Amino acid sequence: MDTSIAYDVVLLPDTDRAVAYRKRAADSGCSLMGVTVAAFGVWVRDLWELYGDGRTFVSRLEREALLRAACEGPAEGDCVDSENGKRAQRDGASGRCELAEGRIADGACALVGDSEAGALGLDRVAAACVAAGVGLPAFDAAVRDARQGVPAGAGALEGVTRAEVPVLRMIGEYLDRLAQLELIEPGQALALLPELLPQRPLRVLLEDAAPLTPGQEAFFSACPWMEVEVRAASGYQGPVRAPEGVRVRFAFPSGQYAWPALLADIVRDALGAAAGRGAAPAAVAVPVAAAGSAAGDDGASSCEDASGSADGYRDGRSAGAQAAAVVVAAKDPAVLFGRVAPALVRQGHVVALRGRRRFVDTSFGRAICSLRRFLDDGQVGGASHIEGYGDIAATDVERWDRADLADWALSPFSGMTKKAAFKLDADMRADRTARRSDLCARLRGDNPMFAAMERLALQLDAQAAAELEVAVRRMTNRSEAWRAEQLAALRALQRAADAAKLAGLGADAAFDQAKRLKVNVSRIVAPRGCDGAALGAPDVLMTDQSTAASLGSGSCKVLVAADLTSAAYPAADPEDASRVLLEHLGVERADSALARMRRAFFALEHAATDQLILERCLNDSSADPTYPCVVLEEFVDCYRDDPTATEDIDNPYSLPERLQDGMLLRGEDALCANDTLSDAPAPEAARIEPPLTGAVSSEARSLVVLPRVLQGGQVLDEPCLSPSQIESYLECPYKWFAQRRLRLDDLDEGFGPLEMGDFAHNALHSFYKHMSEDLGEAKVTPQLLAQARELMADVLARHKALQPHLRQSENRLIPTSQVEHRELAELERKLMDYLDFEAELLPTFAPKYLEYDVACGGAVDYAGHKLLGTADRIDVDGEGRCAIIDYKGSISGSYALGVREEGRLGKVQALIYAQVIRRTLGLEPVGALYVCYGRRKMISGAYDGRVIENAHLPNMRHKDCMCADRPFSDVLDETEEAVAAALERMLAGDIRPRPETPEACKWCPVSSCSERRG
Ligand code: SF4
């Protein structure tokens, strides 16, 4: 740097560099008295404020909002005074619109990335064109001609396609609107300023400059009284060898698990063992005083820093950035900091972060976006076509997701304790009838935080934002840095809201914009007892490439350039519609992604005095191989004799042998070491034996079956089971254990086979009860079908009406969507159709016992143990013979007696009931039947072929179910014997996964089972 500045104005690409320039001048004793040092965009804004016509620069958010409004149609309810067409200032209560300040941030480009522009709508294409083209004669003429109806290809629209003309017309309307609002594009101001500026000599230096944009070129050409010197930023031709004395090393973690551990190793090695500032593990976190964005400012485009006004972020880079011993330039420094900083702090180092985080990744951003999704009525609209159901419109319940409210409730912005948040979640999930409006009313009533967030999320209410700001400031249990980050996010949303209001847009537009914003994040963490903020110079600074590049030559001992993959730093500029349109108008982009990368890499190379470490993860998060970014390849080529050769770099690292010296490698096999970021063996705190699987320990064996409370309050200590439990154990012991003992049930109230089955059982029970009570008939016959249908219709209507009044534990059936309503209607149809089948079933028998408690309130003996349960129905004939009927919604092959020929028991519930009935009621069982009321009416099970005629069991595979060669009672005894053996195994704690058929695994909740079949 010159010790005496020979310029009146020194312009730098962005504010970071301007601040660094001033600091270097101060350090070197160079006076800047009377010298303006600023980013180009800031300087132009200042000139416009002094010499302009009073209009204010439009911000990027405002530009995008106004263009979106132009795209969507005429603006309504915006901030324009209807009488004079001028922009009105509204006060806080009615929606504040204070847009006069900080309109153009100094190079703080707040968008997530330029690459997104390609995927965006017409308004975003127009916004990109406006930022780059407005103020240039060719562009302005094209806009004018498009508005005057000149056809594509004629006049100033030569080379413009028909599809592009509407975009130019829309830009024209936007510029008119801008004038109405007393706003101006920076490009327009740049074109007007030469006429307005006093023509006195001015020595201007563009230091560290990127190639001038067409707007800048035109401006300086129109100001001949300015003596302009451009000092191009170094490195634009490509990387060079690292400076003499700087050791170059390469680092290759093999994958994402090894990545943070290797970076921690590198930092630790670089810092050496010298850091001994106390070793208490806990750390303090405070925000680093930080400035705006590191994004470039080309002067013609207005950029906005999402965190510009947050306390603690207000102004200027701290000295801490300058003197960090190690600087790590990462693609996402906040993620790296989160993974690595705690381990480094434990070892006594002070670690700082300076980076940017997406609005939606901040705690506030996540909370408000979740709440908005929950509250937003329009998130699911229209009808969707579902195979078999036709066009289905979403119901109210489908328009909101319980998870969104739960996410908000679990955030620090709900004002709820964790316990209360989990309870709210559990209550919502257990109740399908929960209504959004009721939940809102309940939360509104007793949670002021919800009320404020709701007003902000739905109405962008400025008063609510103010209340939230106060609430954040009161969260003193959180670190100051965290609070600053949330305040920055809150203000980013407010700015997006203000821009949307200005354009007459609603909350949707504001949230769309806010979601693309990034906010500055800064932290400094230090070992306990060490005031990191007061230190000024952290041991390690983690930041992005652009910020690291702005630190200046020799600013650190070791520089680690991380994530040097082609995916993290693509060299190609996005080919989007705005670029094509600008090219058609002859507006070429002066700069390119590759040139920017080269300049940044050059600066990184020269930032270190001792070591330059270049890191590339060999595999990405999908375990696919990565490729070096272009500048890394170019840098490697600097050290090769023949850059066109391939043999010398044909290795996993793409490095010639001479650069492989001192390579830093780390694999992913050392899982614990990678996770703890330490190779030191972890001290053994406790030894835990692997849990016993497939068996219940001897101490817990007595709890395999819990004591039962019988009717009347009597507690039965001996093992007592139900036929369905036994059947489940026979199906697969481990599945039984998971379902019945661990109860791996879903928290959500369901609408599935369980609820449908209970509804059908209850309806059929009620139907037969009323058959005998109202019609005086026990059995449906062909003659009674008409009356039976009438009765069934009545029963179904009453049962449907009853469902919402049942307890959740009663498996009520509550449809909440159109699809579920149709499923319920289909079930009703099935039950109605079942009556025809019923009229043909067992005509010589009649239902006598319905939902019969086989143990009559107590417990009966079966297979050497106690048993209780309820048989769906028992049909009896005049000879004292009975058939046990179990209703099923569907039936598989396992229900037939014939499966015993395959060496398995199959389904046993009805057979168990039959044996118990034989003993308790003295009836002679001749059938244990499973009757399906589903779409295909059919029967399965076992029956005595010598007693029941095949014709009385329609839709049955008789040969699989009939027992004709031996007494039916033999089947019942044989079943009891097999069940007794199984119960012995159960009570001995044998719960090994042993599926009887692959079908058992189909709906099994044990997701990680080594025996899973099918
Ligand atoms: S997955 Fe299959 S084998 Fe495993 S527990 Fe479930 S049913 Fe048994």
CA distance 165 to 146: 6
Residue 27: pLDDT over 90:
no
Q: Closest ligand 1 atom to the C-alpha of 731? A: 7
548 lines ligand 1 (CB under 6 A): no
Q: Where does 682-799 show beta strands of DSSP type E?
A: 708-709, 715-716, 720-721
Give the pLDDT band (50/70/90) at residue 679: confident
Based on the number of CB atoms within 10 Å of its own CB, is 241 exposed (0-12), middle (13-18) or buried (19 or more)?
exposed
Closest residue by Cα to residue 528 from 360, 350, 386, 662: 350
Of 740, 742, 1006, 1010, the one to substitute when testing ligand 1's pocket (max ligand atoms within 8 A of C-beta) is 1006
CA distance 738 to 741: 6
Residue 102: pLDDT over 80:
no
Residue 995: pLDDT over 50:
yes
Q: Ligand 1 centroid to 738 CA: how many Å?
A: 9
pLDDT, tens digit, for every residue of 499-540? 999 999 999 999 999 999 999 999 888 888 776 556 667 899
Pair of tokens at residue 794: 């009545």
757 lines ligand 1 (CB under 6 A): no
pLDDT, tens digit, for every residue of 845-873? 999 999 999 988 888 999 999 999 999 99
Q: Ligand 1 centroid to 14 CA: how many Å?
A: 63
130 lines ligand 1 (CB under 6 A): no
Residue 11: φ, ψ to 5°: -110, 135
735 lines ligand 1 (CB under 6 A): yes
- The residue whose CA has the least distance to atom 7 of ligand 1 is 1001
Do 817 and 397 meet the contact criterion of CB atoms below 8 Å apart?
A: yes
pLDDT recorded at residue 122: 83
User: How is residue 31 annotated by DSSP?
Assistant: B
Specify the higher pLDDT residue, 709 or 667.
667
Do 544 and 329 meet the contact criterion of CB atoms below 8 Å apart?
A: yes
Do 77 and 145 meet the contact criterion of CB atoms below 8 Å apart?
A: no
Q: Ligand 1 centroid to 733 CA: how many Å?
A: 8
pLDDT recorded at residue 817: 84
1001 lines ligand 1 (CB under 6 A): yes
Q: Closest ligand 1 atom to the C-alpha of 1013? A: 2
Q: Ligand 1 centroid to 1009 CA: how many Å?
A: 6
pLDDT, tens digit, for every residue of 116-173? 333 347 888 899 999 999 999 999 999 999 999 999 889 899 989 998 999 999 999 9
pLDDT recorded at residue 918: 95
Average pLDDT of the residues in 291-306: 32
CA distance 354 to 542: 6
∠ Cα 206 207 209 (to 5°): 80
Do 791 and 767 meet the contact criterion of CB atoms below 8 Å apart?
A: yes
Q: Ligand 1 centroid to 696 CA: how many Å?
A: 16
Q: Ligand 1 centroid to 431 CA: how many Å?
A: 30
pTM: 0.77
Residue 385: pLDDT over 70:
no
Residue 293: pLDDT over 80:
no
995 lines ligand 1 (CB under 6 A): yes
Sequence-separated (6 or more) residues with CB below 8 Å from residue 297: 13, 14, 15, 39, 40, 41, 42, 106, 107, 108, 109, 303
Do 862 and 722 meet the contact criterion of CB atoms below 8 Å apart?
A: no
999 lines ligand 1 (CB under 6 A): no
Q: Ligand 1 centroid to 745 CA: how many Å?
A: 16
Q: Which DSSP string corresponds to 879-918?
A: TSEEEEEEEES---GGGSGGGGGGT-----HHHHHHHHHH
Residue 929: φ, ψ to 5°: -115, 145
Q: Closest ligand 1 atom to the C-alpha of 732? A: 8
Of 727, 730, 735, the one to substitute when testing ligand 1's pocket (max ligand atoms within 8 A of C-beta) is 735
CA distance 738 to 1011: 14
Q: Ligand 1 centroid to 997 CA: how many Å?
A: 10
744 lines ligand 1 (CB under 6 A): no
Could you count the other beta carbons within 10 Å of the beta carbon of residue 87? 19
**Arithmetic mean of pLDDT over the chain:** 85
Q: Ligand 1 centroid to 115 CA: how many Å?
A: 48
pLDDT recorded at residue 292: 36
Do 837 and 779 meet the contact criterion of CB atoms below 8 Å apart?
A: no
Share of the chain above pLDDT 90, in %: 63
Q: Ligand 1 centroid to 893 CA: how many Å?
A: 19
CA distance 144 to 157: 10
pLDDT recorded at residue 1: 52
Residue 1006: φ, ψ to 5°: -80, 100
Q: Which single residue is written with the structure tokens 């208490």?
A: 280
pLDDT recorded at residue 61: 95
Give the pLDDT band (50/70/90) at residue 896: very high
| 3-class SS of residue 250 | strand
Of 999, 1002, 1009, the one to substitute when testing ligand 1's pocket (max ligand atoms within 8 A of C-beta) is 1009
Average pLDDT of the residues in 322-328: 79
Of 904, 999, 1011, 1013, the one to substitute when testing ligand 1's pocket (max ligand atoms within 8 A of C-beta) is 1011
Average pLDDT of the residues in 171-183: 95
Residue 437: φ, ψ to 5°: -65, -35
pLDDT, tens digit, for every residue of 408-458? 999 999 989 999 999 999 999 888 888 888 899 999 988 889 999 999 999
Q: Ligand 1 centroid to 866 CA: how many Å?
A: 27
Pair of tokens at residue 885: 């009927």
CA distance 915 to 896: 17
Closest residue by Cα to residue 576 from 141, 131, 122, 112: 122
Could you count the other beta carbons within 10 Å of the beta carbon of residue 650? 8
Q: Ligand 1 centroid to 473 CA: how many Å?
A: 53
Residue 903: pLDDT over 60:
yes
Dihedral Cα 90, 94, 95, 101, nearest 10 deg: 30
| 3-class SS of residue 977 | helix
CA distance 976 to 913: 11
732 lines ligand 1 (CB under 6 A): yes
pLDDT recorded at residue 535: 65
Closest residue by Cα to residue 208 from 610, 574, 603, 718: 603
pLDDT, tens digit, for every residue of 634-660? 999 999 988 888 888 999 899 999 999
Q: Ligand 1 centroid to 1000 CA: how many Å?
A: 7
Q: Closest ligand 1 atom to the C-alpha of 1009? A: 4
730 lines ligand 1 (CB under 6 A): no
Residue 317: pLDDT over 60:
no
1012 lines ligand 1 (CB under 6 A): yes
Give the pLDDT band (50/70/90) at residue 4: low
| Beta-ladder partners of 576 | none
1000 lines ligand 1 (CB under 6 A): yes
Q: Ligand 1 centroid to 979 CA: how many Å?
A: 20
1004 lines ligand 1 (CB under 6 A): yes
Q: Which residues of 503-516 are buried (b: 16+ CB within 10 A; e: fewer)?
A: bbbbbebbbebbeb
- The residue whose CA has the least distance to atom 2 of ligand 1 is 1001
pLDDT recorded at residue 867: 94
CA distance 926 to 881: 6
pLDDT recorded at residue 746: 76
Helix axes 402-409, 363-375, angle to 10 degrees: 150
Pair of tokens at residue 131: 């930022």
Do 102 and 290 meet the contact criterion of CB atoms below 8 Å apart?
A: no
Based on the number of CB atoms within 10 Å of its own CB, is 475 exposed (0-12), middle (13-18) or buried (19 or more)?
middle
Residue 729: pLDDT over 90:
yes
Do 258 and 252 meet the contact criterion of CB atoms below 8 Å apart?
A: no
CA distance 617 to 829: 60
pLDDT recorded at residue 932: 97
Average pLDDT of the residues in 388-411: 76
Of 741, 1004, 1008, 1010, the one to substitute when testing ligand 1's pocket (max ligand atoms within 8 A of C-beta) is 1004
Residue 959: pLDDT over 70:
yes
991 lines ligand 1 (CB under 6 A): no
Side-by-side strand order, sheet with 608-615: 283-286, 518-527, 351-358, 540-543, 326-329, 556-561, 608-615, 247-253, 664-666
Q: Radius of gyration (Cα) for the chain, nearest Å?
A: 38
- Give the strand pairing for 326-329 and 540-543: parallel
pLDDT recorded at residue 956: 96
Q: Ligand 1 centroid to 730 CA: how many Å?
A: 12
Of 997, 1001, 1002, 1003, the one to substitute when testing ligand 1's pocket (max ligand atoms within 8 A of C-beta) is 1001
Give the pLDDT band (50/70/90) at residue 402: confident
Specify the higher pLDDT residue, 288 or 310.
288
Q: Ligand 1 centroid to 999 CA: how many Å?
A: 10
Q: Where does 562-714 show beta strands of DSSP type E?
A: 608-615, 664-666, 708-709
Q: Ligand 1 centroid to 988 CA: how many Å?
A: 19
Residue 296: pLDDT over 80:
no
Closest residue by Cα to residue 287 from 305, 309, 312, 310: 312
| 3-class SS of residue 430 | coil
| Beta-ladder partners of 184 | 57
pLDDT, tens digit, for every residue of 928-955? 999 999 999 999 999 999 999 999 999 9
Least confident of 81-85, 239-243, 594-598, 602-606: 81-85
